[in-house]
Amino acid sequence: MMFDKLVIATGNFGKYKEFDEIIKSSSKDFADEIIFAPEISKLTVEETGKSYSENAMLKARTWAKQSGLPCLADDSGLEVEALDGAPGLYSSRIVMGKDCDKVSWLLSNLKGIENRKARFAASVALCVPDEYILICEGFCYGKIAEAPEGSNGFGYDPVFIPEGYEKTFAKLNPDIKNSISHRTNAFRKISNLLLRQKEHTHS
């Protein structure tokens, strides 16, 4: 086993569940026990970074210092071509102080616009205390639906239709989302790199 305990450094239970599934389906050797961060501390981390990678690192490092355990964190965003990459880094905060939800904000900004191309981007950071921080990026390309559909996942999932599919992330089976998502693609780069190294150390 790569790690006995691994903390998912997020306060978002939907994201924790998703990582739990991604990790277990990507590799049986990665982590024995996968812990939801709020179970071990009330710590909250302000996302002050200027990139997904900075925010992911900030969360993973801060939780690793707090817990002394290996911590995995991500920061991700939806980048819409017709909106010059918005909401991007501000995906989760775009409606702060506004009386509307994120999905409605997005659909109203794309009203009448033909180009619906978008991608999800994620940076996943793994911090192993006193050893290293490893950060990988992943993407998932697709388009924005005309109206929300489905109730799986979280965030912009109800309006994101990945390439090669007709349904949104929120309507697709979570197993399908977790086999192609930006978060999965980023995590697999991390696990491939580490598990190759680990096998060698033990061989």
Residues in touch with a copy of itself (CB under 8 A): 48-51, 53-54, 57-58, 61, 130-137, 189-190, 193, 196-197, 199-201, 203
Task: State the nearest-atom distance from the C-beta of 84 to a copy of itself, in Å.
Answer: 18
Residue closer to a copy of itself (CB basis): 134 or 176: 134
Task: State the nearest-atom distance from the C-beta of 174 to a copy of itself, in Å.
Answer: 27
Residue closer to a copy of itself (CB basis): 135 or 161: 135
Task: State the nearest-atom distance from the C-beta of 57 to a copy of itself, in Å.
Answer: 6
CA distance 20 to 24: 6
Read off the DSSP letter of residue 87: B
Candidates 20, 32, 74, 75; catalytic one: 75
Q: Is 198 helix (H, G, I), strand (E, B) or coil?
A: helix
Query: How far is CA 12 from each of CA 48, 117, 155, 198, rounded to the nearest angstrom?
Result: 18, 27, 11, 30
Query: How far is CA 3 from each of CA 70, 73, 92, 126, 132, rounded to the nearest angstrom?
Result: 8, 15, 30, 11, 14
Phi, psi of 13 (to 5 degrees): -65, -30
Instruction: Indicate if 75 belongs to the active site.
Output: yes
Residue closer to a copy of itself (CB basis): 57 or 110: 57
- Where in the sequence numbering do the catalytic residues fall? 75
